[in-house]
Amino acid sequence: MYLENLVVDAVDPRRVGRFWEAALGGETLTDEPEGFETRLTVEGGPVLDVCFQRVPDLPSEQPRLHLDLLGGEQQAQMVDRLLGLGARHLDIGQHDVPWVVLADPEGNPFCVMEEREAYAGTGPVAALPFDGADPDRDAAFWSWLTGWVDADGVAPRTLRHPSLRGPLLELCPEPVPKGPAKNRLHLDVRLDAGEDPDEVAAGIAARGGRALPALAPGLPWRLYADPSGNEFCMLPART
């Protein structure tokens, strides 16, 4: 299996998707009213598709997954560029921190990060902070699910693509337990050729995850929750 998509619920997928494509320098894959997809390729590292799917309205709960963008020495200039693309400053109680918190055109929070040694080779997305009830347990689960490996000496508990390039997946202690609402952002993994989806499902359950009801009949992917209740999709192998 491998991590393929970061999926974002959006009332206006084109508007939000075009903002993020400009912010990240992605390559357009799909540009339609019901969905926008852009591809982020890290040289020598992973390929991550960022997908925006239409929903009737956004959940009120705070996202448990967000993007930290690489600002570094150009942090101030990047913030100005993002504001020009349609972002706005956002106060989430961060007080005096070295990063800058912004919101995208639909209010999704994200951060523009300062220079950090750990961000070497990440590309435009420095990290994907992901809330969970037990970061060590969740790190073991997501490492098995994606093949990503521990990033030594990085706090909080962090995984990275085996190439040691591309964004960090930071497993963070959740401020509050997962509520009943669907996460606004989630991850998709895809099976490799020859992998048995039922065997993978058994592995998910054995590691504390669980299957969730399908959102609609006939969909080719399966929906699961990780041990902390965060939704993800398992996509079939490509033919």
Model confidence pLDDT, tens digit, residues 134-163:
999 999 999 999 999 999 888 899 999 999
Torsion region of 25: left, alpha or beta (phi above 0 gives left; psi -120 to 50 gives alpha): left
What is the average pLDDT score of the chain? 96
**In the chain, what percentage of residues exceed pLDDT 70?**
100
Does 60 score more than 90 pLDDT?
Answer: no
C-alpha to C-alpha distance for 178 and 72, rounded to whole angstroms: 32
DSSP lists the bridge partners of residue 171 as 130, 157
Phi and psi, residue 35, nearest 5°: -170, 145
pLDDT in the model for residue 160: 97
Nearest CA-CA partner of 14 in 60, 56, 47, 54: 54
Does 77 score more than 90 pLDDT?
Answer: yes
Nearest CA-CA partner of 19 in 75, 102, 114: 102
Does 238 score more than 90 pLDDT?
Answer: yes
- What number of other Cβ atoms are within 10 A of residue 108's Cβ? 23
pLDDT in the model for residue 58: 82
Confidence bin at 216 (pLDDT 50/70/90): confident
pLDDT in the model for residue 95: 85
User: Coil, strand, or helix at residue 48?
Assistant: strand
Q: What average pLDDT does this structure show over 103-108?
A: 96
Q: What average pLDDT does this structure show over 197-219?
A: 95
Confidence bin at 235 (pLDDT 50/70/90): very high
Does 109 score more than 90 pLDDT?
Answer: yes
For 147-231, where are the alpha helices, taking DSSP H only? 197-206
Amino acid letter, 45: G
Q: Burial-class residue 226 by CB neighbours within 10 Å (0-12, 13-18, 19+).
A: buried
pLDDT in the model for residue 228: 98
